[in-house]
Amino acid sequence: MRWTHLLAVGALSVSLAACTTSPTGRSQLTLMSDAQLDQMGARAFAQYQQELPTVGGAPLRYVQCVTEAVVRALPERERNQNWQVRVFQSEQANAFALPGGYVGINTGLLDIAENQHQLAAVIGHEIAHVLARHANERASTQTATQLGLSVISSASGMQGAGGETMMAALGMGAQYGILLPFSRRHESEADTLGLDLMAEAGFDPRASIALWNNMGAAGSGARPPAWMSTHPSHGQRIGGLEAAMGNAMARYERARNAGRTPNCPRP
């Protein structure tokens, strides 16, 4: 009886402390603070820069120009972060954004994105993952699953031995969580949010479909980018974008009428 009681109280504390709502209204488990995620983002970004050579000059200015336009469309907290951009020399068509304000784009992706609108589709999508706290949610879910009962029984207090174990495990989960591919649900959410973001910034949302078609064509070659393997199927993704396009186009028109007409020519 006592065990069951503990479990119920513990589960309640966890859900009260750690249930947040994503920008699309989905409830999510987020056990870590934004500050913790920002720190992990900074560490992962530094690690990337140690592992891959970076490129400056015109490609960097191009990616910075598009990123700055997208960042201006973000909510206050994220807009006011000091966003850093790096272009990595790599054939792999990859891109990421990390909590704390970090964007990385591989040169292989710059070959696939044909203009500023398509690049904005990529950057909008990646920043949408950050905005929706997907890394926090993924790491939290993994950790909660791994810890099972031990989390629940110590959830009433983060202090004490149980609390330390929990925090250590959270750190471990987060290390994996921040670098792993996202789930399909997260991908769909990032697609929809990213579409709104790029449109709000004054980029043509229809370019997202062209971009993913280019990606699909590149992915059908000998070596599809690894991160695409867990992404939604191509048809699912295009279907989702098309369903959200009406709203995004209205947003795009409003942005243009308000003078948001970014001009970042591809080098």
Nearest Cα neighbor of 133 from 30, 39, 42 is 30
Work out how close the CB of 186 gets to Zn ion at its nearest, in angstroms, rounded to a whole number.
7
Q: Is 189 a catalytic residue?
A: no
Sign of CA dihedral 110, 111, 112, 117: positive
Nearer to Zn ion, 102 or 147 (CB): 102
Nearer to Zn ion, 90 or 150 (CB): 90
Nearer to Zn ion, 86 or 134 (CB): 134
Task: Give the chain's radius of gyration (CA, Å).
Answer: 20
Distance CA 31, CA 167 (A): 10
Measured in degrees and rounded to the nearest 5, phi and psi for residue 84 equal -110, 140
- Beta bridge mates, 86: 104
Number of residues engaging Zn ion in binding (CB under 5 A) = 2
**Strand ranges, E, within the chain:** 19-21, 27-29, 54-55, 84-88, 95-98, 102-106
Q: Which residue has the tokens 């044909």?
A: 114
Q: What type of residue is 83?
A: W
Binding mask 167-196 for Zn ion (x = CB under 5 A): --------------------x--x------
Work out how close the CB of 46 gets to Zn ion at its nearest, in angstroms, rounded to a whole number.
22
Distance CA 131, CA 194 (A): 10
Nearer to Zn ion, 120 or 151 (CB): 120
Work out how close the CB of 114 gets to Zn ion at its nearest, in angstroms, rounded to a whole number.
20
Work out how close the CB of 112 gets to Zn ion at its nearest, in angstroms, rounded to a whole number.
15
- The overall longest dimension of the chain from CA atoms, in Å, is 69
Catalytic residue among 51, 126, 187, 189: 126
Work out how close the CB of 125 gets to Zn ion at its nearest, in angstroms, rounded to a whole number.
6
Quick check: 45 and 214 in contact, CB under 8 A?
Answer: no
Binding mask 133-172 for Zn ion (x = CB under 5 A): ----------------------------------------
Nearer to Zn ion, 187 or 196 (CB): 187
- What residues are annotated to the active site? 126
Binding site for Zn ion (CB under 5 A): 187, 190
